[in-house]
């Protein structure tokens, strides 16, 4: 290979002030190369510590691993300004780039960071600073995490194939977890933020039946939220149930007005045990105190027995019972909280119906007895009048 070197006069035996040209006799800089430049390339598959002879290191490890930067050199010659390029060539594992103990890589913070993590196919370029101690920022980030195409870094595949998807209209799938607004998804699809859709339905199927959570799917313009079990055996429908642990919530904060044709409650004999007759219906009914009241419509919180209400709270006039009073008479009709300083009392008005029914039966029995006595008295009066 033809080489042309232009050397200037030397001021000392060790320092030369000149411009050097390689394959050119007119260098425009301290070093001008009219051709290609090669630097050392190394590929590793395990943890590795870089040396002064490295330049580009590519890691293709099958598991998460670490590449360590060389320690600073405070003796002559120092290697300030030296450039290192590091790439994580793996498509599945992460690569940690670590400075030596005490040394730091510059970041958005004032103190810098000890390590950076490269995701699959990401790369980074670092430059040695002029700090040569174990207590400062010894490495400067020039190019940070230059990611290649999404197909390489997080492959989405064409449906029913192992071929990476490349078309906008393709049906695609992914075998890992997907996070939107989060870098730590805890489920197959994890969204940190609000979700919006403008038409159609959102199906949530399981392995046996399927269900739909829909908005305006049937009653257009009413703004109704519909929960439909539309597949599987049986009559369909939906249910809510209480977990076996934690604090259950039996209602919403706002008063709801629901128009329905009818409600059926599970009452199959086969579901029940310890069946006994209701007694003392009249005495229970006579002890109850029906009241009229105004009730808050927007309960915000209940802490230490102190109730607070939302900004949209309004008073609704209604009639009923006071749960705490009713609990002393008919506890079967009242949900008594475990901690009333944090939970509210609720009334199952349907459970009052059997007591009312028993009271009517007892009252009717008394009426029939009185009617029989009246008939006897009437007959006696008739006999006396006939005499």
Residue 317 lies inside a defined structural domain of this protein: yes
Residue with tokens 């040695």: 128
By C-alpha distance, which of 133, 24, 147 is closest to 78? 133
pTM confidence score: 0.42
Residue 274 lies inside a defined structural domain of this protein: yes
Could you read off the pLDDT of 269-290 as tens digits, one per residue? 999 999 999 999 999 999 999 9
Residue 382 lies inside a defined structural domain of this protein: no
Residue 333 lies inside a defined structural domain of this protein: yes
Instruction: Tell me the mean pLDDT per 10 residues along the chain, length 387.
Output: 45 60 84 85 93 90 92 76 90 90 73 84 87 80 56 59 68 75 84 79 58 50 53 54 50 55 86 94 96 88 85 88 96 92 91 96 95 92 80
158 forms bridges with which residues in the sheet? 172
Could you read off the pLDDT of 104-159 as tens digits, one per residue? 888 655 567 888 888 888 888 888 888 887 777 888 877 656 554 433 445 676 66
Domain end marker among 107, 125, 151:
151
Task: Report d(CA 102, CA 137) in Å as an integer.
Answer: 9
**CA 380, 382, 384, 387 torsion-angle sign:** negative
Residue 240 lies inside a defined structural domain of this protein: no
Which helix (H) or strand (E) segment holds residue 292: the answer is strand 291-296
Residue 330 lies inside a defined structural domain of this protein: yes
Cβ atoms 179, 185 nearer than 8 A: yes
Per-residue b or e along 245-269, where b marks 16 or more CB atoms closer than 10 Å to that residue's CB: eeeeeeeeeeeeeeeeeeeeeeeee
Domain end marker among 119, 151, 183:
151
In the chain, the number of structural domains is 2
Residue 118 lies inside a defined structural domain of this protein: yes
Residue 301 lies inside a defined structural domain of this protein: yes
What CATH number is given to the structural domain containing 81?
Answer: 2.60.120
Coil, helix or strand at residue 363: helix
Enclosing domain of residue 285: 269-355
């Amino acid at each position: 290979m033809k080489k042309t070197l232009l050397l200037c006069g030397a001021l000392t035996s060790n320092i030369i002030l000149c411009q050097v040209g390689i394959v050119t006799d007119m260098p425009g800089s301290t070093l001008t190369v009219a051709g290609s430049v090669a630097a050392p390339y190394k590929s590793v598959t395990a943890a590795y510590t870089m040396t002064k002879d490295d330049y580009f290191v590519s890691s293709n490890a099958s598991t998460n691993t670490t590449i360590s930067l060389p320690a600073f050199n405070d003796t002559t010659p120092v290697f300030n300004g030296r450039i290192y390029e590091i790439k994580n060539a793996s498509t599945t594992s992460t690569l940690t780039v670590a400075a030596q103990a005490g040394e730091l890589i510059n970041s958005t913070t004032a103190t810098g960071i000890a390590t950076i993590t490269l995701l699959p196919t990401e790369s980074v370029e670092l430059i040695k600073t002029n700090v040569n101690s174990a207590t400062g920022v010894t490495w400067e980030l020039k190019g940070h995490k230059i990611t290649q195409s999404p197909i390489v870094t997080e492959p989405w595949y064409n449906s029913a194939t192992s071929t990476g998807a490349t078309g906008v209209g393709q049906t695609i799938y992914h075998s890992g977890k997907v996070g939107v607004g989060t870098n730590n998804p805890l489920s197959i699809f994890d969204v940190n933020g609000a979700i919006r859709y403008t038409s159609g339905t959102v199906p949530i199927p399981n392995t046996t039946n399927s269900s739909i959570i829909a908005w305006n799917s049937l009653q257009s313009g009413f703004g109704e939220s519909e929960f439909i079990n539309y597949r599987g055996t049986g009559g369909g429908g939906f249910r809510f149930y209480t977990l076996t642990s934690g604090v259950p919530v039996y209602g919403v904060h706002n008063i709801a007005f629901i128009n329905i044709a009818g409600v059926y409650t599970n009452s199959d004999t086969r579901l029940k045990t310890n069946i006994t007759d209701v007694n003392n219906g009249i005495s229970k009914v006579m002890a109850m105190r029906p009241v009229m009241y105004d009730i808050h419509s927007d309960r915000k919180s209940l802490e230490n027995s102190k109730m607070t209400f939302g900004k949209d709270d309004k008073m609704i006039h209604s009639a009923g019972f006071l749960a705490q009073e009713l609990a002393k008479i008919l506890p079967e009709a009242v949900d008594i909280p475990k901690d009333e300083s944090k939970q509210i009392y609720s009334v199952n008005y349907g459970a009052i119906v059997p007591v009312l029914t028993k009271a009517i039966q007892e009252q009717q029995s008394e009426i029939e007895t009185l009617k029989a006595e009246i008939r006897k008295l009437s007959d006696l009066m008739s006999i006396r009048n006939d005499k």
